Amino acid sequence: MNFDKNTIIGWICLALLFVAFFWYNTSQQQKLLEAQKIKEDSIARVIAAQKPKNTSILSTNTINNLKANDTFLSQVEQIHSLENDNVKVYFTNLGGQISKILLKKYLFNQQPVVLGHNNQFKYSFYETPQKINQNNILYFNTIFDSVQNKITYSYTTTSGNQIQQVYTLEPNSYKVKFNLIFNAKDDVFLNKDITINWNVESVQQEPGLSYDKQQTNFCFYEGDDFDYFTGEKTYTSEKPLKWISLSQQFFNNTLIFPDNKVASIAQVQFDKPNNDTSTTLASLHTKFSYHFETNPSLNLGFTFMFAPNDLRLLENEPNDIAKIVNYGRGLYAFVRPINVYILDPFFNFIAKYITSFGWCILILTIFIKIITAPLTYSGYVSSAKMKVLKPELDALKAKMGSNQQGFAMEQMKLFREAGVNPLSGCVPALLIIPIFGSLFNFFNANIVIRGEHFLWVKDLSSYDSLFEFGFTIPFYGSHFSLFTFLAAITTFLSSMYNMSATPAAADNPAFKYMPYIFPFVMLFMFNSTPAALNIYYTVANVLTILIQLVIQKYIIDHNKIHAKINEKRKQPKKKSGWQERYEKMLETQKKVESMKNKGKK
């Protein structure tokens, strides 16, 4: 590889700029961190001063020691809990709400993952014919049933109407059944409409805060279609909603609507905080209504689901809830079937017999190389043949000089005699698009690799950080990912090999610098992506280089290729239709260029 003087000077200047930027950015980041620490300490003191002192907590053991159907009546907030093998759900008698949910099998910072942050399910009703009240400001009576794993919150209005909020935790599940029951003797809603607000927030559960925020989205099933959006948005549904979900990379907060009653048009507000240091990823505010014609009593059956985004867990749920698992949406929707029906089953099959998910990724990489081999082999062979012909092409180019049309015609002639199809090399490039889309979504959304170790990687579902800078580089991050670096280096080496085997690309300014540009961009784009994806690209690039070297050294016979060329040169030339059209086009271009030159003279 040759570098001219200007190129070397350019790289030195770029390196100096990076060094200067790192020094300046480090000093600024330190000042910002000190200011942020002062601010956070001040906020913490204010929160501590405002924390209510009338909250009591009933532990699980305390509740379990009580008889079934025992009733707790208090005008102070009390926290109760239900649990099964998967979750522990905390409830508060203030408003009769779910307080938070602990997922027992998933950890973040060595603590169970917590969902349902700032969960609120609130509605208004008539306390008396002249007074409106709200459930979220009332203390409910608590009835605990340990046999059915159920909590009932009850409240009786001044007019004698009874409200019940019944929560039942299903065994071996992530779902909480919720029944909202009004036993009323008169109208308790304005115009026989009950308007319900459900609010919930998601917080950081993965190492990379900005990446976790980027992966957070709002999913819903409206009418008969799944849809989603990732950016801040206010949305009004046009058709009945079956479910709504605030979903992040690996977990979701979902509300499933009653089957027997259709809600009127729902309004949704999906927000993401602008503060990059906030651990709150997004908030969801929804508002929907139900109308009752004559009967003031009602029983609405909802389901709360606070669950991991696990395809095997969600695939049996109705109304496309499994699409919460982002195995391909929007532009990459076409790769979802590949992930769901090929990659996911094969990966899970491997994982049954191999405990290390890192080795599973290596085997998956080899598997992909094998199934794509029939499509890529001819391209590799053509590239190897073109590398054999490079000395002749260089001599031909020197002979033709500036006559580009003449060189192109002679080059096509040489390719034809050697049995080389230049376009066959495009097949591996075209395969990159669906494979990239499939694997990016697969490793980005596959929860089974979350928290799994491999070599120096602490979590295959997140970036591998060899070391932290202590400051943030725009568009890059605050860490150095070794597997991203290895993926970029191997991509560079593979591109350089392909470039050396493709003289036309090497001489084309549009392609000449691609081996340098794409790996450099890759360092920035992939530095915060899952280590599993970068492991795949590193191994895939190494395998590609090895395959090309094996074909070049052991499959392609240089002497046979040259003998075939010499033999074909002696035979009558028979051109394909494409070659004839291509040569006619070159001849036409040559005539047009000649006429332009005559006109100038």
Distance from C-alpha of 497 to C-alpha of 383, rounded to nearest angstrom: 9
Distance from C-alpha of 548 to C-alpha of 555, rounded to nearest angstrom: 10
Q: Is residue 410 part of a domain?
A: yes
pLDDT of residue 562: 66
pLDDT of residue 49: 43
Q: Is residue 339 part of a domain?
A: no
User: Which tokens sit at 307?
Assistant: 């669950």
Cβ neighbours around 187 below 10 Å, total? 17
Cβ neighbours around 479 below 10 Å, total? 20
Alpha-carbon dihedral angle through residues 44, 47, 52, 55, given to the nearest 10 degrees: -50
Q: Is residue 471 part of a domain?
A: yes
Q: Is residue 581 part of a domain?
A: no
Q: Is residue 587 part of a domain?
A: no
Look at residues 170, 154, 462 and name the one whose alpha carbon lies nearest to residue 303. 170
For the CA atoms of the chain, what is the radius of gyration? 33
Residues with Cβ within 8 Å of residue 385, at least 6 apart in sequence:
418, 419, 420, 556, 561
Domain count within the chain: 3
Listed in sequence order, the DSSP H helices in 299-425 are 311-314, 336-338, 344-353, 357-400, 404-418
Contact 418, 564 (CB under 8 A): yes
Q: Which residues of the chain are under the pLDDT cut of 70?
A: 1-74, 260, 265, 275-276, 294-296, 375-385, 387, 400-406, 417-432, 497-516, 556-558, 561-562, 564-566, 568-586, 589-594, 596-601
Look at residues 360, 336, 517, 545 and name the one whose alpha carbon lies nearest to residue 439. 336
| Residue with the two structure tokens 């985004």 | 309
Question: 33 and 105 share a domain?
Answer: no
Question: 272 and 352 share a domain?
Answer: no
Distance from C-alpha of 30 to C-alpha of 28, rounded to nearest angstrom: 5
Question: 260 and 302 share a domain?
Answer: yes
Phi, psi of 15 (to 5 degrees): -65, -40
pLDDT of residue 511: 55
Q: Return the bridge partners of 70, or none.
A: 144
Look at residues 83, 85, 84, 116 and name the one whose alpha carbon lies nearest to residue 101. 116
Residues with Cβ within 8 Å of residue 412, at least 6 apart in sequence:
579, 582, 583
Residues with Cβ within 8 Å of residue 292, at least 6 apart in sequence:
189, 192, 193, 194, 298
DSSP-derived letter for residue 38 is: H
Contact 257, 302 (CB under 8 A): yes
- Per the confidence metrics, is the pTM higher than 0.85? no
Distance from C-alpha of 473 to C-alpha of 484, rounded to nearest angstrom: 16
Q: Angle CA(111)–CA(112)–CA(115) in degrees, nearest 5?
A: 125
CA–CA distances in Å: residue 455 to residues 263, 280, 480: 52, 31, 16
Question: 131 and 40 share a domain?
Answer: no
Distance from C-alpha of 89 to C-alpha of 175, rounded to nearest angstrom: 10
Query: Which uninterrupted H or E stretch holds 546?
Result: helix 531-550
Question: 42 and 61 share a domain?
Answer: no
Query: Which uninterrupted H or E stretch holds 156?
Result: strand 150-156
- The pairing of strands 162-169 and 141-145 is unpaired
CATH code, domain with 73: 2.70.98.90
Question: 106 and 199 share a domain?
Answer: yes
pLDDT of residue 295: 60
Tens digits of per-residue pLDDT, 468-485? 777 777 777 777 888 888
Range of the domain at 460: 344-556
Question: 8 and 124 share a domain?
Answer: no
Distance from C-alpha of 350 to C-alpha of 360, rounded to nearest angstrom: 6
Contact 303, 317 (CB under 8 A): no
pLDDT of residue 517: 75
| Residue with the two structure tokens 């076409």 | 334
3-state secondary structure (DSSP) of residue 293: coil
Listed in sequence order, the DSSP H helices in 419-464 are 426-445
pLDDT of residue 424: 58
Look at residues 117, 77, 122 and name the one whose alpha carbon lies nearest to residue 99. 117
Question: 497 and 367 share a domain?
Answer: yes
Distance from C-alpha of 115 to C-alpha of 174, rounded to nearest angstrom: 11
Q: Is residue 585 part of a domain?
A: no
pLDDT of residue 507: 54
Distance from C-alpha of 522 to C-alpha of 533, rounded to nearest angstrom: 12
Question: 212 and 279 share a domain?
Answer: yes
pLDDT of residue 255: 94
Q: Is residue 590 part of a domain?
A: no
Look at residues 286, 305, 203 and name the one whose alpha carbon lies nearest to residue 249. 203
DSSP-derived letter for residue 457 is: B
Question: 90 and 111 share a domain?
Answer: yes
Question: 91 and 66 share a domain?
Answer: yes
Q: How many residues does the structure list for the chain?
A: 601
Question: 192 and 238 share a domain?
Answer: yes
Q: Is residue 600 part of a domain?
A: no
